[in-house]
Amino acid sequence: MRIRIKCVRIRIKLHLKSGEMDMNKLKRIYPICIFLFCNILCVIAQEFKGLITDIRKRPVAFATVVLQTVPDSSFVSGAVSDTSGVFTLKANLDKDKDYTIKISSVGYKTILLKVDSFDLGTVVMEEVSVILEGLLVTATRPAYRMDSDGLTAKIEHSILSRLGTANDVLSQLPFVKGENGKYTVFGRGTPLIYLNNRLLRDNDELKQLKSSDIRDVKIILNPGAQYDASIGAVIRITTTKSVGEGLSGSLYTFIRQRRHLGHYEYLELNYRKDKLDLFGKISYDKTAYEQNQKDETILNLDNKYITEDDKKMEAGFHSWAATIGANYAFLPTHLIGLRYIYSRSPRGNWDFSGKTLHFINEENDNNYTSTNLTERENHRHYLNTYYHNELKNKTTIHFEGDFIKGGSAAGQSSDYKNLVHNEAILVKSNSETDYSLYAGKLLIEKSLAGGRINFGSESSYTDNKQSYEMLNKNISEDLPSNKDKSEQFLIAAFASVDYTWTELSLSAGLRYEHIDFKYYYNNELSKIQSRIYNNWFPSLTFSYKTDYINMTLGYKTIVYRPNYYNLRSSITYNSPYDYEGGNPSLRPMFINKLSYTFGWKDLQMEVSYNWVKDNLLFIVEQFKDKPITLFTMMNLPYSERLDAYVSYSPTIKFWKPTFAVGFYKQNLHLKNCSYNKPYYTYRWNNTIRLPKEFQLALNMEGNLRGNSDVSIYKSAFRTDVKLSKSFYDNRLSVVLNALDIFAADLERWSMNTDIIHYNKWNDGDNRGFSLQLTYRFNSSKTKYKGQGATNEINRL
């Protein structure tokens, strides 16, 4: 079939002054002008375009598109589809010839199209495996790739794409540990998680995201200056782009049976019409668990005071949340949006019951039976707005604004009965928290001399009030009622540059933060605890990259600020011999991190050295001069830590194992004690593709005995099994989990601080089963690009 090439008729009007040009010259020029204009317009019109997707409407990236003649298949022009599956192909055509377009990609059937239009619309490709004499031949690439700032995992079309949800994918990746929205990155703490450049404030969204919709996951081990200085790692999830308008949504339920039954449900809807997105979500969570705990405390004074607790803790709470929002796209790269979230936990109960034995020099002097009940309520309003514009000169402008207001109220009742002296102690207290936050952030990205530059600023104001009321007059002398108030004003400016030269790349950044922190105790300003900070946070990375080897040397300064709960002055009553409290004198902790990462095919490795100033430590110490222990926080002037991590993740036909070993070795001394025993972690994850598109995951992980901060953790081990399957063209996803099947994931650690030895054992209530069901219709994702203006939210 021939392609019709249309030229446009042009009218040319020349304004000539008398005597400038005679009619013969005009007759020669006029045909030349018509010929040139027609050719220009014909060339401009000869542009093919289209969208390539698979049968699930996911874009096929990097597909080869070739225009060729018929019948000799001579090459005319070619193009490659982008990450959105879109391609544009330009060519000069002969109107007397026929043409075809050939589209091919690894893992798909090749398509040959006879065309008579320049707009090919949507081209759907079918997946295929090639079998040669009984041998299944597949093209494979390394599942993970080390880059200048971290590791990228290719999820699309991999064995990980069939696991179920984003939570299931993240728990399988190198450097990442955790489950159900709670994750840590090896040696870097809790990461920020982004979904399509939008910061997740509600990690429940990871339950909503299908693993088959994820294109890749990037684990940033060296975050740049545009991130808050307290961020040690960032996880960025990029999804395939779904098409379609109208109403879409998902319904999710999660049922978990441990010693008690818990469940979580949500309904999410999204309506898209032209440039407008409207979205909403409502969720409900009922959590319940029962843990058995044993504690032993030895306080060595003139006498040896020994306290032994054997208790059962039953906890249960209900919470719900509602989200509404809108997003308007003037253009695909020019958007504005608003999101509001209201969350509330109207009731939460923590009930401790058991017995306490007390000894002086190993002679039993007091025995107690106890009941400790804590009831808590909390609520929060969160408003986020953003503006995003990608300009034609490769400049991006992004602005964020946040407003948060929330609070909580709790009541605690401790009832102790002394079986030796036939006495009773009833201790009641109330506490309240009220907080608010205003924040804004501006980020500008721009091309500069062959590289990229990021710069911007952010500011925030935080107001946090806490009050504590002791209702027992006999205890109030030691644990008085009080009120705290913390105010913080933060302003920051940052800039970073990125350059790449073939195999080498450089990234350098600098961030400045000014913080004015004021602390009030019982409505009076405390000048000792009030401080002003002016800090510079540099970051620098050098990278070398070839087809198989990637190496990065990086340096970064990180700060961890104590959360506002740890800055409280109140002390709470746990037992007659055990108190717990905050420390308003805490200072921020600074880490200077020097790291080296190496990647070769399926092997990843990292080694880092950390010099820590004002290390934030959870410790136990003597309360005043009494035979009572106090659990609190403190700063240690300095310490050191060496981290190392190795991961190997090959793909062997239908089996994808991951072997990983982690190592911590700190140089930390407190008073007369050293805490330098190495701490090892290990993991063996297995993802297996079964017939009929079933997916099996068998994961084992644990740790050996070693020090972390001033505690020594004893060995632990855990085994989880997961089976997943999708039905009805991926609209229904079913995941069945067996958790901690050997009940070996126990919390066992001890702490020695000069005159005190503390030992804890808790069974964790981790063993159980869970079932998660997700149903989606007319899948489409909101275009919302709001990220959140500040990390200050996490301190509330």
Give residue-wise pLDDT tens across range 658-693.
999 999 999 999 988 999 999 999 999 999 999 988
Mean predicted confidence (pLDDT) in 278-285: 94
Cis peptide before 191 (omega within 30 of 0): no
Using the Cα atoms of residue 87, residue 93, residue 95 and residue 96 in order, give the sign of their dihedral: negative
For the cut 50, the answer to whether the pLDDT of residue 435 exceeds it is yes
C-alpha of 665 from chain center: 26
For the cut 80, the answer to whether the pLDDT of residue 182 exceeds it is yes
How distant, in Å, are the alpha carbons of 28, 312, 316, 372 from that of 354? 107, 6, 18, 9
Q: Name which of 221-225, 233-237, 443-447 the model is least confident about.
A: 221-225
Q: Name which of 92-101, 135-144, 458-467 the model is least confident about.
A: 135-144
Q: Which is nearest to 659 in space by CA: 678, 677, 694, 684?
A: 684
* pLDDT band of 382, cuts 50, 70, 90: very high
User: Across the strands, what pairs with 57?
Assistant: none
Q: Name which of 193-202, 627-636, 640-649 the model is least confident about.
A: 193-202
Q: Name which of 106-115, 690-699, 755-764 the model is least confident about.
A: 106-115
CATH of domain 143-239: 2.170.130.10
For the cut 70, the answer to whether the pLDDT of residue 788 exceeds it is no
For the cut 70, the answer to whether the pLDDT of residue 529 exceeds it is yes
The four Cα atoms 567, 571, 573, 575 give a dihedral, to 10 degrees, of 90
For the cut 70, the answer to whether the pLDDT of residue 586 exceeds it is yes
Q: Name which of 160-164, 182-186, 435-439, 571-575 the model is least confident about.
A: 160-164
Range ranked top by mean pLDDT from 23-37, 120-134, 353-367: 353-367
Strand pairing category for 234-239 and 192-195: parallel
The pLDDT value recorded for residue 83 is: 66
> In the CATH hierarchy, which fold is given to the domain comprising 246-795?
Maltoporin; Chain A (2.40.170)
- Identity of residue 545: K
How distant, in Å, are the alpha carbons of 130, 146, 365, 378 from that of 502? 35, 16, 75, 53
Q: Is residue 71 left, alpha or beta, with left meaning phi > 0 and alpha meaning psi from -120 to 50? A: alpha
At 460, which helix (H) or strand (E)?
strand 451-470
For residues 203-239, one letter each, b for 16 or more C-beta atoms within 10 angstroms of the residue's C-beta and e for the rest, the string is bbbbbbbbbbbbbbbbbbbbbbbbbbbbbbbbbbbbb
Pick the more confident residue, 449 or 770: 770
> Where in the chain is CATH 2.40.170.20?
246-795
How distant, in Å, are the alpha carbons of 30, 37, 42, 95 from that of 7? 17, 9, 6, 11
How distant, in Å, are the alpha carbons of 9, 305, 309, 313, 370 from that of 358? 102, 7, 9, 20, 13
Q: pLDDT by residue (tens digit) across 480-490?
A: 999 999 999 99
**Token digits of residue 606:** 């990292």
For the cut 80, the answer to whether the pLDDT of residue 269 exceeds it is yes
Question: Is residue 309 a contact partner of residue 295, using CB atoms and an 8 Å limit?
Answer: yes
* pLDDT band of 241, cuts 50, 70, 90: low
The pLDDT value recorded for residue 789 is: 55
Q: Which is nearest to 675 in space by CA: 683, 666, 684?
A: 666
Pick the more confident residue, 227 or 21: 227
The pLDDT value recorded for residue 138 is: 46
The four Cα atoms 55, 58, 62, 65 give a dihedral, to 10 degrees, of 50
The pLDDT value recorded for residue 765 is: 95
Question: Is residue 760 a contact partner of residue 746, using CB atoms and an 8 Å limit?
Answer: no
Whole-number Å distance between alpha carbons of 329 and 276:
7
For the cut 80, the answer to whether the pLDDT of residue 201 exceeds it is no
Question: Is residue 198 a contact partner of residue 428, using CB atoms and an 8 Å limit?
Answer: no
For the cut 70, the answer to whether the pLDDT of residue 244 exceeds it is no
Q: pLDDT by residue (tens digit) across 1-38?
A: 444 444 444 444 444 444 444 444 444 444 444 443 44
**Which contacts of 444-448 are long-range, i.e. CB under 8 A and separated by 24 or more positions?**
444/395, 444/396, 444/397, 444/398, 445/395, 445/396, 445/398, 446/393, 446/394, 446/395, 446/396, 447/393, 447/394, 447/395, 448/497
Average pLDDT, the chain: 86
Give the whole-number percent of the chain exceeding pLDDT 70: 88
> Where in the chain is CATH 2.170.130.10?
143-239
> Where in the chain is CATH 2.60.40.1120?
23-130
> In the CATH hierarchy, which fold is given to the domain comprising 23-130?
Immunoglobulin-like (2.60.40)
C-alpha of 780 from chain center: 21
